[in-house]
Amino acid sequence: MKPALALAKKELYALSLSPLLYGAAVFFVLFVSIWLFYFQRFFALDSASLRPFFAAFPLVFILVVPVITMKAWAEERKIGTYEALLTLPFSEWDMVLGKFFSSFCAVMGMVVLTIPVPLTVLPLGHFDAGVIISEYLGVLLLAASSTSLGLLLSSMAKNQGGAFLGSAVVLLVVMLISQVTQTLNLPLMLASVLNFFSLSFHFESFSKGILDSRDLAFFVLTTALFLLLNTKILIFRKWS
C-alpha cells in the first residue's frame, strides 16, 4: 500500500492547487443546503429526520464527482505524461489506488464540510444518532462507488471535457434510473433489474437508517470492480 499512498499524496497535492476543487466544494455545500431548506422546506416538514438532506447527495455527486475525477487519467493523456507514468516503478494497481484514494479523499472532504448543516438543526428536535451515522455511512459508500466509476470513465476518455461529460451522463443514469421504475408501470422483473444497477436505490436503505448487508456488499463490490476494470485498461494500453 505504500506506493499507492505515496501516489495518493502527490495527486491530492495537485488537486489542492486546482481552483476547480474549491469551486466544486462551494457548490457542494450550497446545493445540499438549498436543497434542504428551500426545495424540501425542512422547517415546514415538522419532522425530526434528515432524510431530505441526505437525498441531495446522489444528485450532487452527478456533477461533483466528474469534476474531481475528470483530470485523473484524461489530463495525463492530454499533456503526454500518461506513457511516462506507466514506466514508473509502480504497478498499475498501485497507480489506480493512488488516483482513487486522492479523489475519494477530496470528495469526502466536501462531505465533511456539510456536517455543520445538520448540526444547525439538531437542537430543534430529537434526532436518532444511529440513523444519522447510517446515513453518513451510506454517503461514504456511495462516494466510493461513484468515484471509482468516474475514474474508470476518465481512463477511457481522451480529454477532460469528454471525461466530465461521460461521467456526468453515466452517473445521471445510474443515480436516477430507479426513479424510472417508480414513475413507469414496468414489469416487476424489469424494475428489479433496473433497481439493481441504480446506486441511489442501494443508498435508500442507508438513508432510512437501515444497514442492509446486500446494499453494503453492492457498494463494496462495485467499487472493487470499477477499480479492477481501470487497472485492466491501463495494462491493455501499456502493451498495445
CA distance linking residue 145 with residue 123, whole number of Å: 33
What grid cell was written down for 191?
424494475
The confidence score (pLDDT) of residue 142 equals: 97
Instruction: Tell me the average pLDDT across 128-139.
Output: 92
Q: What is the CA radius of gyration of the chain?
A: 19
Phi-psi region of 164 (alpha: psi -120 to 50; beta: other; left: phi over 0): alpha
The confidence score (pLDDT) of residue 150 equals: 95
Percent of the chain with pLDDT over 90: 54
> What's the count of helices (H) and strands (E) in the chain, helices before strands?
13, 0
Instruction: Tell me the average pLDDT across 188-211.
Output: 91
Buried b (16+ CB within 10 A) or exposed e, 177-197: bbeebeeeeeeeeebeebbee
| Model confidence at 153: pLDDT above 80 | yes
**Cα dihedral 17→5→203→162 (10° resolution):** 50
What grid cell was written down for 92?
498499475
Confidence of residue 87 (pLDDT cuts 50, 70, 90): low
Alpha-carbon distance values, 98 to 17, 92, 123, 239 (Å): 17, 10, 40, 21
DSSP category for residue 159? S
pTM of the predicted structure, to 2 decimals: 0.92
For the ranges 12-26, 36-50, 137-151, 195-209, the lowest mean pLDDT is seen at 36-50
Q: CA nearest 24: which of 100, 108, 96?
A: 108
